[in-house]
Amino acid sequence: MAELVDFQNGKVICGRWKVSSQLGAGGCGAVYKVEDLFNKGFSAAMKVESNDVGNMGVLKLEVQVLAKLKDLPDAFRLYDMGKRKKYSFMVMSLGGQDLLNLAMKSPKTLSLPTIARIGIMCLSAIKSIHDVGFVHRDVKPGNFVQGCTTGRLSRLLYLIDFGLIRAYMKEGKDGEMKMRKARTTVALRGTFRYCSLNTHNRIEQGRVDDLYSLLHVLQAINRGLPWDGMKDEKEIMKKKAMDPNIIFKDAPPEFVTIAEYLMTVSTIEKPDYVKVYKLFYEELERNNVNFLTPYEWETKKNDVNTMVEPSKHERKTFQKDSDEKLQYRIYPQLHPKKFEDAGVQLKC
């Protein structure tokens, strides 16, 4: 069993990063909020992993993925990395709360348009990972983090924790990127509560499996899943094989359409992200909600809208714009066009 790395507040790493609090802890390490002593007022998140984990260590892989995401406008940045005698670390952008906390701490029950809107934020985050050639394989609420604690980015969700990630493409001899061949024996990777039925059946996961997990995540924070509380894998599988009308009975009706669509997509195919986006968006339209509508967890005190919404001057400039257009000026990454094609940077 690897010895856990446990940093006290005030510890300074590399003469630069001063630990100010712990943000989370996992099996092999922990995540800390750190202050940059070279850049007053700047904070970041430091993920630390014990070197005792040997080949099981995932930090190196996480660094590689973050480095690949660097050209995307809205992705966490990698600021530093290093290895000490007992531990390895990486420093990345500091996000806000994770989806698990947001959903649990929300003073009000999350409405269906909020659930669908979270669906779009998560879809965008998942697509970014797919676009750089990886399947995440551990889509769960604790792995979606607000882009920032306050302001515009606090309404966006980014995917973190690339410990179980797997490349689905590889460079062929001709230099072209090709799909990797599916393995015949695959160990289960992911979380029982959220993973797809394919994953339980030990089938090589593809992009579609991350999207199945997303539906499970959304239903879990909505009204819960029919297999909640179950431990036996066979029993869980039986429930997951049920009619989507039963699994998603209290969800926006489009969830069933999305689930039925995903059943038609093979693990090697690229899912139609725009189709899924548009189905989520129908719930927003029905309820007159858009990306500028405050979330249930946003309080007056921490009102993002004062920062997210345009100033009076900007309002005047944009006055001819409808709210629908305005939302895309503020959140261009959520425009349906952005979900259209790969923008793939599959070359290493």
- The rounded distance, in Å, linking the Cα atoms of 138 and 198 is 14
Q: Taking CB under 6 A as the rule, does residue 65 contact ligand ATP?
A: no
Q: Quick check: 78 binds ligand ATP (CB under 6 A)? A: no
65, 98, 119, 122: which one contacts ligand ATP (CB under 6 A)? Answer: 98
Q: Where are the alpha helices (DSSP H) in the chain?
A: 59-68, 99-105, 112-131, 197-200, 207-222, 233-240, 244-247, 254-262, 273-286, 305-308, 312-317, 323-330
Q: Does 143 bind ligand ATP (CB under 6 A)?
A: yes
Task: Work out which of 145, 157, 218, 346 binds ligand ATP, going by CB under 6 A.
Answer: 145
Residue type, 178: K
Please state, in angstroms and rounded to a whole number, the distance separating the CA atoms of residues 82 and 59.
10
CB of 6 to ligand ATP, least distance (A): 13
CA pair distance 51, 87, nearest whole angstrom: 5
Q: Of 31 and 258, which has the nearer Cβ to ligand ATP?
A: 31
Shortest spacing between CB 2 and ligand ATP, in angstroms: 12
Decide if residue 160 touches ligand ATP (CB under 6 A): yes
Q: Helix 207-222 and helix 254-262: axis angle, to 10°?
A: 150
Contact between residue 331 and residue 304 where contact means Cβ atoms under 8 Å apart? no
Rounded Cα–Cα distance for residues 323 and 4 (Å): 49
Q: How far is the CB of 32 from ligand ATP (least distance, A)?
A: 9
Q: Rule CB under 6 A: say whether 116 interacts with ligand ATP.
A: no
* By the rule CB under 6 A, 149 interacts with ligand ATP: no
Q: Which of these ranges, 138-146, 197-205, 249-257, 324-332, lies near ligand ATP under the rule CB under 6 A? A: 138-146
Interface stretch with ligand ATP, choices 77-85, 86-94, 115-123, 207-215 (CB under 6 A): 86-94
Alpha helices (H) along 106-206? 112-131, 197-200
CB of 261 to ligand ATP, least distance (A): 29
29 binds ligand ATP (CB under 6 A): yes
Is residue 102 part of the contact set for ligand ATP (CB under 6 A)? no
Active site residue 138: yes
Written as six digits, the tokens of 30 are: 């922990």
Tokens 């499996």, residue? 209
HEC string of 80-93 equals EEEECCCEEEEEEC
151 in contact with ligand ATP (CB under 6 A): no
Q: Does 206 bind ligand ATP (CB under 6 A)?
A: no
- In this structure, how many other beta carbons lie within 10 angstroms of the beta carbon of residue 31? 20
If the CB atoms of residues 31 and 110 are measured against ligand ATP, the closer one turns out to be 31
Q: Check binding of 57 to ligand ATP (CB under 6 A).
A: no
The one-letter code for the residue type at 310 is P
Catalytic residues: 138
Residues that bind ligand ATP (CB under 6 A): 23-24, 26-27, 29, 31, 45, 47, 76, 92-95, 98, 142-143, 145, 160-161, 163
